[in-house]
Amino acid sequence: MFTVQHIDNQKQWEDFLQSRVPDGTLQSRIHSFYPFFQSFLWGEVQRSLGFIVDRLGLFSGKNLIGVCQIIDIKAKRGHYLHLRHGPVLQNFTDEAFDSLLAYVKNLAKEKNASFIRISPYITVSGIPNNFFKSRGFFNAAIHRMDGEVCWVLDTTKRESELLVRMRKTHRYLIKKAQGMDIEIVRTTKVSDIEKFLPLYKDLSVRKHFVPHRGVREEFASFSKADQEVLYLAQYDSKIISGAIFAFLPNMAIYRHSASENAYRNIPASYLIQWEAIKEAKKRGIKLYNFWGIADQNDKNHPWAGLTLFKTGFGGEKLEFIHAMDLPLSPLYWKTYAIELTTKLLKGY
């Protein structure tokens, strides 16, 4: 017998997410992938930005066997419930998923949402082909965001071995940066985010992308819990590069970064990345997630340069199923058309 209940207890929520501890095998690491956008703190960030957040727990008797954090999105392109990186279930059985889905569908109808979007961390081979399709889901028109195809590094290896496994150029640039007068500042002070945001805004203008909303709010929330750290590179008495890293249970995540274009030939970003990898090791975190990458054969993809940067540090690719939508109203097709057009125009 399955029941669905609202959960407001942060410890209960995080204890469930953190209970999926990897045993060292690749399959176990995938199963225990920390769903960043299902974290309790991420929900609090969304609330601070004005979104309505619902946290649901799926119970089998008294045992919590699944959770899903739902963000109510009301945008120009459409109104939907977003289970970003969710739902998170111990096992995606028919009975468990259907019990939770029935509740979420009723919630969506109460809110007059035109569709439900899910993106659980499940590999393509980790679930039957028709599991979601048979329930009316199909691939969303958006590009592969939220680390669906990501590059990860096993940080349990010795530092010397990690360096050997890097691309030769990356290893050289780290060594070069270490020999230069570059100061790496590691900070969790909320006020220091103001030193990073101008770099990030400038990058968004140069690369023609819309800056992520809530970077300041995210850092404020996670840094207070010592779960995000800002690294700043100072050179020639100026902040020339910065990056935000999340250090979470079982996983470190490369979240945001930006560099001063005038100093693009100074390899500060390589040194920042190496310092963050070493920090993950110190914290006992075994998996370092560089986040999303593009197809390495697609040289025209907007992420091509970033992908080359990430993959050069060594590691392996992990690929999860694409975000899926469940239409509940004909209005959904307006959203589908807008997202598909945007995807094509941006070259994704």
Q: What is the rounded average pLDDT of the residues 204-230?
A: 89
Q: What is the rounded average pLDDT of the residues 296-308?
A: 84
The whole-number pLDDT of residue 193 equals: 96
The whole-number pLDDT of residue 175 equals: 97
Q: What is the rounded average pLDDT of the residues 219-230?
A: 96
Instruction: For domain 149-319, give the fold.
Output: Aminopeptidase (3.40.630)
Q: What's the DSSP call for residue 215?
A: H
The whole-number pLDDT of residue 298 equals: 78
The whole-number pLDDT of residue 29 equals: 56
Which range (12-16, 42-46, 200-204, 321-325) has the least confidence? Answer: 200-204
CATH class of the domain comprising 2-143+320-345: alpha beta
The whole-number pLDDT of residue 19 equals: 80
The whole-number pLDDT of residue 12 equals: 96
pLDDT tens by residue, 163-215: 999 999 999 999 999 999 999 999 999 999 999 999 999 888 887 777 778 99
What are the E-state strand segments in 43-177? 52-60, 63-75, 78-83, 88-89, 115-118, 138-139, 149-154
Q: What angle do CA 34, 32, 26 make, to 5 degrees?
A: 120
- Mark out the alpha helices in 229-331 (DSSP H runs): 268-282, 304-311
Residue reference for tokens 């009301």:
74
Q: What is the rounded average pLDDT of the residues 331-342?
A: 93
Buried b (16+ CB within 10 A) or exposed e, 95-128: ebbebbbebbbebbeeeebbbbbbbbbbeeeeee
- pLDDT band for 23, please (50, 70, 90 cuts): very low
Q: How far apart are CA 296 and CA 310, in angstroms?
A: 11
Q: How far apart are CA 316 and CA 232, in angstroms?
A: 27
Which range (17-21, 34-38, 287-291) has the least confidence? Answer: 17-21
Are 2-143+320-345 and 149-319 the same fold in CATH?
A: yes
The whole-number pLDDT of residue 346 equals: 82
Which range (88-97, 204-213, 275-284, 285-294) has the least confidence? Answer: 204-213
The whole-number pLDDT of residue 32 equals: 63
Which range (14-28, 53-67, 149-163, 280-294) has the least confidence? Answer: 14-28
Percent of the chain with pLDDT over 70: 96
| Residue 3 structure tokens | 């029941």
Query: What does the mean pLDDT of the chain come to?
Result: 92
Q: What is the rounded average pLDDT of the residues 246-257?
A: 94
Domain boundaries, the chain: 2-143+320-345, 149-319
